[in-house]
Structure 1
Amino acid sequence: MTTKPRLYYFNGRGRMETIRWLLATAGVEFEEAEYLETREQYEKLLQDGALLFQQVPMVEIDEMKLVQTRAILNYIAGKHNLYGKDIKERALIDMYVEGTMDLNEMIMLYPFSSPEEKEKNFALMIQRATNRYFPVYEKVLKDHGQDFLVGNQLSRADVQVQEDSSLFVSLISNLPTIKKFLQPGSQRRTEPDDRIVETVNKVFFLWIFRFVD
């Protein structure tokens, strides 16, 4: 009997949300094994040797305990035919994905900005999204006239752009697996709120940049 992937992270989006989206797109059921809410939970994972680099997210899948977000995403995408047909397509997918990762980094860290920095960071985030990142994906689709970014088939690049923008809402959101994931009561997480920020700071003693990757 196949065991569902087990996810270890905070009860929020962060770096785990892209993993949730990719699993959902692949039609893979998963479970939130443990939400980190205390420093003690985090230290127990360390003591158990579950966090190779002392970082989350961590996903138990196929008898492995995977850490490092990109490694987890690459494994899931490769396993479920969401990573291109050859090395050239994978290179293109990686290139587009790294753009979404850059943008997602800004979105993810925005709630942790100081009050005086929030307005400036929000403006920069919007400026980068509308002038640097979104136009690239629009141009790629326009130039090759296909529905998806690479190889005219769904890949992790499409999924990650969908997570961070509304570019592909009408197309990707109608996929049965994504449609199910967007329904109320699913395992999808929303943007971080004050409670999540407080929890992250409590667990990591404000060392967020060192321990969350």
Structure 2
Amino acid sequence: MMRRKRLQFSAGKGDENSEIMAGKPKLHYTRGRGRMESIRWLLAAAGVEFEEEFIETKGDLDKLLNDGVLLFQQVPMVEIDGMKMVQTRAILCYIAGKYNLYGKDLKERAWIDMYVEGATDLMGMIMSHPLQPADTKEKNLALIIERATTRYFPVYEKALKAQGHDYLVGNKLSWADIHLLEAILMVEECKPGTLSAFPLLQAFKGRISNIPTIKKFLQPGSQRKPPPDEKYIANVRKIFNI
């Protein structure tokens, strides 16, 4: 049996001076999770402080559009290192690369990408759930749990077993680990106990949740956002004309 090595966390520190000079990243989004939440997770895990400018009305969104700062006329948008970045995937890739959370070579990056995309697909189902018609919500929730337990979680359970280490890729924390933990917690909000058949994922959840920067983000009062409620969903519909 392979000895389990002690958890290592070494997000990049080489850009500290430039980060101070450039200022904190500024996140532009609604006052909720959505596509911005994974960006919050990744910055928090890397130990990066960030500011948020919330889009609370359609007027706030129109101002960004009229200012011409939204490349494809949509959010999330993150101001970082002198750029106004849009497109969630591009933003996440940049942050992961900047803070050494994107593997040591192309092969590791490819595995990270595959694991991230799987978790993204699962979280996408959960994010769209509150927007489903009331008469289909129960069926949709059952589909989320079915997909989590038969399509997605078995892949990650098998990956952890094959790895024999604490992390999904290599033996170092990566974007894939952070993204998977976010997905696990979202599924458990839908149905507690969903991890009961996946002992390695249960242990993974405990380990990654206790990394100091992530543990801090999971505490009450952090910039992590709560699950969307009806009031938030109604406001999002107004802002984006959904």
What TM-score do the two structures reach when normalised by structure 2? 0.83
Query: Which of 85, 89, 94 is 2:108 aligned to?
Result: 89
Letter matched to residue 197 of structure 1: I
Offset at 1:179? 1.0
- Residue 146 of structure 2 is matched in structure 1 by 127
Query: Which of 30, 54, 66 is 2:50 aligned to?
Result: 30
CA distance in 2, matches of 1:205, 1:120: 26
Offset at 1:180? 0.9
Offset at 1:69? 0.5
Q: Does 1:14 align with 2:34?
A: yes
- Residue 211 of structure 1 is matched in structure 2 by none
CA distance in 1, matches of 2:86, 2:115: 22
Letter matched to residue 47 of structure 1: N
CA distance in 1, matches of 2:82, 2:29: 18
Deviations 1:158-190 (A, max 9, x none): 000000105332111111101111111110001
Structure 1 stretches lacking a partner, 5+ long:
207-213
- Residue 189 of structure 1 is matched in structure 2 by 225
**Off by >6 Å, runs of 4+ in structure 1:** none
SS in 2 for 1:187: coil
SS in 2 for 1:53: coil
CA distance in 1, matches of 2:56, 2:139: 30
Q: Does 1:139 align with 2:158?
A: yes
Offset at 1:123? 0.5
SS in 2 for 1:165: helix
- Residue 74 of structure 1 is matched in structure 2 by 93
CA distance in 1, matches of 2:115, 2:219: 27
SS in 2 for 1:15: helix
Offset at 1:2? 3.5
Q: Does 1:41 align with 2:41?
A: no
- Residue 6 of structure 2 is matched in structure 1 by none
State the identity %. 66
What TM-score do the two structures reach when normalised by structure 1? 0.94
C-alpha contact (below 8 Å) 1:180/1:186 kept by paired residues: yes
- Residue 178 of structure 1 is matched in structure 2 by 214
Q: Which has the higher contact order (CA 8 A, sep 6+)?
A: 1
C-alpha contact (below 8 Å) 1:10/1:196 kept by paired residues: no
Deviations 1:119-140 (A, max 9, x none): 1110000000111001100100
CA distance in 1, matches of 2:182, 2:220: 17
C-alpha contact (below 8 Å) 1:172/1:178 kept by paired residues: yes
CA distance in 2, matches of 1:117, 1:62: 43
- Residue 210 of structure 1 is matched in structure 2 by none
Letter matched to residue 25 of structure 1: A
The alignment of Structure 1 onto Structure 2 pairs a total of residues equal to 205
CA distance in 2, matches of 1:21, 1:109: 19
CA distance in 2, matches of 1:190, 1:134: 23
- Residue 115 of structure 1 is matched in structure 2 by 134
CA distance in 1, matches of 2:168, 2:68: 38
Structure 2 stretches lacking a partner, 5+ long:
1-20, 186-200
